[in-house]
Amino acid sequence: MARFSADQKPPRSVALIDVKEAYLHCVKAIKRTGLWTQEARVDRETFPTAGQVYRDQLKLEIPGEAIDASLEQDARETLC
């Protein structure tokens, strides 16, 4: 795990993924989707926070704001 260290800190875990097949779409198909046009853009303010996503997906009873606060605290204390 030493090779995955960052700033002399070893990771808590590492996931190794073995890709057997990868499918690429032709450039025409990607361009036709129009995902990069101004009309397709979504205002970031309409996106749910990570806490809201976790709450909804895990069917938690605590507010998304509390989860967000916990995530921010964890990031400050363990990532720096």
Instruction: Count Cβ atoms within 10 A of the Cβ of residue 34 and give its class: 0-12 exposed, 13-18 middle, 19 or more buried.
Output: exposed
Please write the tens of the pLDDT for every residue from 40-56: 888 888 999 999 999 99
What pTM did the predictor assign? 0.50
Q: What is the mean pLDDT of residues 26-51?
A: 87
Structure tokens at 8: 């002399």
Q: Residue 40: its pLDDT value, please?
A: 87
Question: What was the pLDDT predicted at 29?
Answer: 78
Q: Report the alpha-carbon distance of residue 13 to residue 63 in Å, rounded.
A: 28
Q: How confident is the model at residue 74 (pLDDT cuts 50, 70, 90)?
A: very high
